[in-house]
Structure 1
Amino acid sequence: MKLSEVFGTENRFLLGCWIAAVTLVVVLGLFLSSDPVNILGVAESREFQVNFDSPVEIKHIYVLPSQIVKKGDLLAELGQSEWDAQLRVLKSRYDKLNAEMRLRREIAGIAKDLGTSVPNGADPLLVDLEDTKREMDLIEGRLKNLFVFAEVDGAVGAVNFKSGEKAPSFAPLITLLPLNPTYVNGYVNESLNSSLSVGQPVEVVSSGGKTVRGHVMSVGSRIVPIPERLLRIQTLPAWGREVVIKIPPTNGFLLGEKVSVHKSWGLSFVNLAQADEPVPESVEQLPQDLEMPADILTQFRPEMSGMVFVPELRQFVLVSDDYPEDRPVLFLMNEQGQVQPHQIAIAGLDQMQDIESVSLLGDRLYLMGSLSRTKKGKLKPARHLFAKVRRNGLRYHVEQTIELREKILQALAHSKEAVLRKIATLDQQNPKGGFEVEGHAIEGEDLYLALKGPALSMNKGLILKVDDFQELFEDRPVASDRVHVAAEFEMKLPNLNVESVVTDLVKVGDNFYLASSCRGASCSAVWKVKAGQSQAELVRDFSYPHLEALALQPDSKKLFAVFEAKTGGRFVVMPTVEKRTP
């Protein structure tokens, strides 16, 4: 049976009106029967305090009160003499226990020869030795992390100690205030019969008309006086329950701004910011400009040529291939591409030219020049240095340097591998396009060198491996059998007839990641290659020239790349397929 046969065609309009009226009555009933929520509050943020559970010495404070800082900026460097003393005692104890353990093992060996055996794990000395080692590792870990970094973007509040002073346990060293409010502290008047629950969504509206969506974090269980500023009538006191509401960090509110809170009811046709929305990553997939401090740019414009991530500092250490008066300094950069204003001098390294790469092994940095001739084909020892630099906090001093060029070329000239002998020959035949190293990596006792020249053929990449590289710092020749070809490969960009040359190197497990730049064209690329591969795998190419520095963030397993430019440079972040550090 059709609907028109029941109601008739003349009654369909009346039926539609009845349906609309009933729907409106139901909706109004639901709305009017719901509990009203109208809360006044203040947008605030939690103050971050830096303190430690044991006394510390203040080595250096890098910020001033009211200074604006970014997340990851270095605030202070600390020291802990008590931990140093504990570590010395534990090391002495560990050495004694270890000596006693060796003696017991010798006795156990004699007993075994006599037909007597001691069950595994029965020696309490072994347990004591393992406990001591764990305590040593714990303190060594603490001593490596005596650096204070900004946890959020914000403004420095109070700096309560000066460099050289000692701070007692739990004393606040520095306070940090976020630039944007992160929660609302509001009050529900006791005369309102409103039910609020933790996790309930609400809408927060500022006096300037901005609206965000938040969630109730807590509801007070007692009645307290409402602050005078939030009273409807200033001269009429009122009481109510305190309510804390979480709001998204990107809200546009002012700290201390008065806001109103309303129950989030029904459908919302406005795309409001959510309190539990993930904050988008500040680093995009496209190259972005480095944030270079004006204090540095007024002295010179660094041309970043190499970088490495230092876990204890949670920063990248960068080097430039050119410095005023050839006096090298180190730069620090956080993961947002912001270069820190302070430059770190390297004590004992008064001059080094054309630094092209930097690597990290333990608490030592290794800096390497290009090992090449000048553009006029002349030899300059300052370009041929390989320097071992030790870090102590944020102070660096050179331990050893060696002129590496001739040592390597002599080993190549006497090598049994034909390709290595060819490199030495080409260097002699074409001095201006001869031997040149643009990147290096260290793994254990092995040193890897990524060659830019001489060019064996167009788009040919070559990585050398030097065994027992610490022996390079000894004053004796390098044996030819200690230098090998680690990888030889092609790296041709698809659909482009340009020459790519290697500019930096990172080793991750069995994989080499290489940066390359195009000769005479605005393009660069990142490649991946394994030993034995004849063709490098293209990770990503760019329409920007001069990709010069490449580094791995070991926790996230992301690659950070820096483009050299006279205007200050760019950087980009790329994921790898490597497994993250647990």
Structure 2
Amino acid sequence: MQNFLFQRLGLCICFLGIFSGGAFSPTSALASGGLRKVQVPEKLMKKLKTFEPSSALYLGDLNRYVLSSDDTDKNETPYLFLMDDRGQVDETPLRVQNLSQMTDIESMTQDGQGNMYLLSSLSINKNGANKFSRNLFSKVSRQGKDLVLLEKVELRSLLLHAIKNSDIPDIQAIQNQVDQSLDIESHFIFDGQLYLGLKNPQPRPNEALILNLGRIEVLLKEQRIEELSVWKTVNFGGAGTECLLSDLQMSGDEIYLSTTSDRGEPGYLWHLQISTDTLSRVDTFDDVKPEGLALRAKDNKLMIVFDQGLEPALFHMRPRL
């Protein structure tokens, strides 16, 4: 399959330029209301091991954001959590019917029919175990607050096989690392095809691969990857810094991306103009990790959620560019 998306948008595969953006101090932002605490009811917290938001999605009909968390309860129940624009989380989590376990949900999106798609990290856990519940890509129907599993696929094994058998240079560059370091925290859907943003491994430091896996229908119904290709290799630049892709949100001709660091370095918000291949750094976040992005089209707002581990999670509302 040819790179149809490049043909449609008039793009060519190339590394992206980088432009510096403004710094954003979380300390002053929290004091001024820029970064605010996510308010989780005590009754809900008693059900959970931790609340560590990892992705976000805006649901217009409910006027709520839906969040996923790295961990849920001791049974690994695939809960999702509704939050309003004040940061107040609903006391009752959403439960995906017919989906008994799905953990480490790192990315969510929805299609034009209102179906939601949930993606686990596909990574081995901290103990080096490969768990089925961390390897899933699921399609979920939604009517209001009612969520029902439609289809799912164990994606890790399919993706590892496709990567290891690829002859594309940037994919070959990660083949020796992918078994131990595969980690995915972002995806989007365009024209019925699935795009995954790799946090790890990276072909070169500070470069993230966005892979095209072909048609979602083929993946879910036939349990196979139609064709694996590189849509973009995103070069975040910045010698001496670490930028790991933690989320992306596509809207029309633009993509918002967030990056974090495992070395305690700043997190960043980026903006990519697809038609011009222009990547700009929009915000810098010291000492906090931007983990999830959600676009609210009705008033052109972007919500960013920050995982603080055992500390209360934070969120930030800003205008989209």
TM band (smaller chain): 0.7 to 0.9
Q: Paired residue for 2:42? A: 294
In structure 2, distance between residues paired with 1:564 and 1:321: 9
Matched, 1:567 2:311: yes
In structure 2, distance between residues paired with 1:321 and 1:292: 15
Matched, 1:364 2:109: no
Question: Where does 1:140-155 land on structure 2 (aligned, <5 Å)?
Answer: none
Residue 530 of structure 1 and its aligned partner are, at CA, apart by: 4.2
Residue 357 of structure 1 and its aligned partner are, at CA, apart by: 0.9
Matched, 1:379 2:130: yes
Q: Paired residue for 2:14? A: none
In structure 1, distance between residues paired with 2:274 and 2:157: 26
Aligned residue for 2:195, secondary structure, equals strand
| Higher strand residue share | 2
Match of residue 331, structure 1, among 74, 78, 81: 81
Identity of aligned residues (%): 28
Matched, 1:348 2:72: no
Count of aligned pairs between the two proteins = 287
Name which structure has the greater RCO, CA cutoff 8 Å, separation 6+.
Answer: 2
How large is the Cα RMSD of the aligned pairs?
A: 2.2
Question: Where does 1:98-109 land on structure 2 (aligned, <5 Å)?
Answer: none
Question: Where does 1:187-198 land on structure 2 (aligned, <5 Å)?
Answer: none
In structure 1, distance between residues paired with 2:77 and 2:278: 39
Residue 476 of structure 1 and its aligned partner are, at CA, apart by: 4.2
Residue 285 of structure 1 and its aligned partner are, at CA, apart by: 6.5
* Structure 1: 4+ residue segments shifted above 4 A: 530-535
Q: Paired residue for 2:320? A: 576
Match of residue 231, structure 2, among 458, 483, 486: 486
Matched, 1:556 2:299: yes
Residue 392 of structure 1 and its aligned partner are, at CA, apart by: 2.1
Q: For 1:112-155, what per-residue CA distance to the aligned partner results, in whole angstroms no more than 9, with x for missing partners? A: xxxxxxxxxxxxxxxxxxxxxxxxxxxxxxxxxxxxxxxxxxxx
TM-score (ref. length: structure 1):
0.47
Matched, 1:315 2:64: yes
Say whether the 8 Å CA contact 2:202–2:209 is kept in structure 1: no
Say whether the 8 Å CA contact 1:307–1:316 is kept in structure 2: yes
CA pair 521-476 structure 1, distance change in 2 beyond 3 A: closer
TM-score (ref. length: structure 2):
0.83
Say whether the 8 Å CA contact 1:331–1:339 is kept in structure 2: yes
Residue 531 of structure 1 and its aligned partner are, at CA, apart by: 4.8
Question: Where does 1:409-428 land on structure 2 (aligned, <5 Å)?
Answer: 409-428=160-179
In structure 2, distance between residues paired with 1:552 and 1:402: 27
Q: For 1:19-70, what per-residue CA distance to the aligned partner results, in whole angstroms no more than 9, with x for missing partners? A: xxxxxxxxxxxxxxxxxxxxxxxxxxxxxxxxxxxxxxxxxxxxxxxxxxxx
2:208 corresponds to which letter in structure 1?
A: G
Matched, 1:435 2:182: yes
Residue 466 of structure 1 and its aligned partner are, at CA, apart by: 2.4
Residue 373 of structure 1 and its aligned partner are, at CA, apart by: 1.7
Q: Paired residue for 1:95? A: none
Matched, 1:406 2:131: no
1:359 corresponds to which letter in structure 2?
A: T
Residue 534 of structure 1 and its aligned partner are, at CA, apart by: 7.4
Residue 532 of structure 1 and its aligned partner are, at CA, apart by: 8.4
1:562 corresponds to which letter in structure 2?
A: V
Structure 2: segments with no counterpart, 5+ residues: 1-31
In structure 2, distance between residues paired with 1:446 and 1:477: 13
Q: Paired residue for 1:523? A: 266
Residue 541 of structure 1 and its aligned partner are, at CA, apart by: 0.8
Q: Paired residue for 2:244? A: 501
CA pair 509-535 structure 1, distance change in 2 beyond 3 A: closer
Question: Where does 1:87-486 land on structure 2 (aligned, <5 Å)?
Answer: 286-300=34-48, 301-324=50-73, 325-361=75-111, 362-428=113-179, 431=180, 434-479=181-226, 482-486=227-231
Aligned residue for 1:467, secondary structure, equals strand
Q: Paired residue for 1:145? A: none
Aligned residue for 1:326, secondary structure, equals coil
In structure 2, distance between residues paired with 1:533 and 1:405: 33
Structure 1: segments with no counterpart, 5+ residues: 1-283, 578-582
In structure 2, distance between residues paired with 1:547 and 1:312: 25
In structure 2, distance between residues paired with 1:404 and 1:563: 26
Aligned residue for 1:458, secondary structure, equals coil
In structure 1, distance between residues paired with 2:132 and 2:191: 27
Residue 572 of structure 1 and its aligned partner are, at CA, apart by: 0.4
Residue 363 of structure 1 and its aligned partner are, at CA, apart by: 2.2
| Higher helix residue share | 1
Aligned residue for 2:187, secondary structure, equals strand
